[in-house]
Structure 1
């Protein structure tokens, strides 16, 4: 199977134009325009041998190739293999959409090791490796695996990168919705930079999972110049 030919056969030009506006950090010429359901169907058509060859062939040329790689990694059933492929792939991730697509089910069974990986990735100098770290922290460690100490992974991040700070704000807004009593101190004690602090409040106040009383209290915590 020629993956690029398959992707081009699924092209939707209007969708390509739409995607290019959502992902301004990559060149429009690298976007084919393939919808997510079609990418997932294609991933299922690729056999294991083809998948291994495709995932080793880095860097990719097209955005959809990177999305396809994220899907293939997320579908992997062996944890160690999944981590190996993810760590090889992370340096080549160049946009928020590919980051946020990474969500291997196998990670739920290996959280003790995963949290150590997340701590390491969160210290990376690569913007999207850090974003992946916080995205995975949000996906896998705000429910049964939640620990207050894990919040430090995100509070310690100081970045000038919009896509890092937005992810941190999204993480804490979600954390407030799920673990309010254990998370609100982050805002009360001013543990975030001003922009991320206020963006967290904005996103939390937009959430249907935050009560009206909580939203009103959050409003009082906003930093004003």
Structure 2
């Protein structure tokens, strides 16, 4: 079956309305549930993924999401080929949902951190909001470890993009660092020159974490900046 026709058959009007609320202003959403999209992506990744990824006629949100999922499921390609596919896909991302789903699927990164690191670092200097978010989400997903955590925090500190979805991703990344490296991240927060919005969002995300106890939540409250207008 034609993939576009298959997606149209899987469309759920109720889920369409739900997704539209999550991604305000985004058009052409069919409402295909993620488990169904993943099933289709796995099938494509086993068979004719090269042919599918060469097509450039996406109309629907789910068609773009599907391409990202397929890249994550590919088993019969070299790391270098996967990196080239990622570079081709990045410009297609125009919302947080596709970006974050794409990053979550790139589990190959865990086994080839050094190979993917230059791509991730270069994405942080982009003018495109979701390319920068891609770099941040990749870092918080695959690089918050003993080897990379200091580099991650350093990159977060020096990002210049002011987009909302970039700043929210920075806050998310800081909270991910805090979960694994609370003392290091706390020291970072006490010295950071992040804008107040992003800084407070980071405190909020740390406080809202299921792993934060009462004392941590209270400490985050105490660390809020006071406006001396």
Does the 8 A contact of 1:148 with 1:183 survive in 2?
no
What pairs up with 1:19-168 in 2 under 5 angstroms?
19-27=19-27, 30-46=28-44, 50-58=48-56, 60-77=58-75, 78-102=78-102, 103-143=105-145, 145-168=147-170
Per mean C-alpha deviation after superposition, the further-off stretch among 208-217 and 64-73 is 208-217
TM-score, normalisation: structure 1: 0.93
Per mean C-alpha deviation after superposition, the further-off stretch among 122-131 and 51-60 is 51-60
Unaligned runs of 5+ in 1: none
Q: CA deviation at 1:76?
A: 2.2
What pairs up with 1:169-208 in 2 under 5 angstroms?
169-208=171-210
In structure 1, distance between residues paired with 2:185 and 2:148: 11
Does the 8 A contact of 2:45 with 2:74 survive in 1?
no
Per mean C-alpha deviation after superposition, the further-off stretch among 118-127 and 180-189 is 180-189
Per mean C-alpha deviation after superposition, the further-off stretch among 41-50 and 81-90 is 41-50
Determine helix, strand or coil for the equivalent of 1:184.
Answer: helix
Per mean C-alpha deviation after superposition, the further-off stretch among 156-165 and 195-204 is 156-165
Q: How many matched pairs? A: 223
In structure 2, distance between residues paired with 1:35 and 1:7: 10
Unaligned runs of 5+ in 2: none
In structure 1, distance between residues paired with 2:148 and 2:214: 24
Q: CA deviation at 1:50?
A: 2.9
